Amino acid sequence: MNRRLDRAKQLLESGCALAIVNGGGELTFDERGIVTLLKLQHGSLGGAFVADKVVGKAAALLLVRGGALEVYAEVISEPALEVLAKHRVLCIHKEVVKNIMNNDNTDICPMESAVLEVDDPDSAFELLAEKTGFAV
Which has the closest alpha carbon to 36: 13, 20, 12?
A: 20
Inter-residue contact 52 to 8 (CB < 8 Å): no
Strands, DSSP E only, in 35-126?
49-55, 70-77, 90-97
Model pLDDT, residue 45: 84
CATH of 3-132, one of 3.40.50.2300, 3.40.50.10470, 3.40.1360.10, 3.40.140.30: 3.40.140.30
Domain coordinates in residue numbering, the chain: 3-132
pLDDT, one tens digit per residue, over 82-96 is 999 999 999 999 999
Q: Which residues contact 6 (CB under 8 A, 6 or more apart)?
A: none
Distance between CA atoms of 51 and 55, rounded to whole angstroms?
A: 9
Cβ-in-10-Å burial (0-12, 13-18, 19+) of 14 comes to exposed
Q: Which residues contact 101 (CB under 8 A, 6 or more apart)?
A: 107, 108, 109
Distance between CA atoms of 78 and 58, rounded to whole angstroms?
A: 12
pLDDT, one tens digit per residue, over 49-74 is 999 999 999 999 999 999 999 999 99
Neighbours of 66 (CB within 10 A): 21
Average pLDDT value for the chain: 93
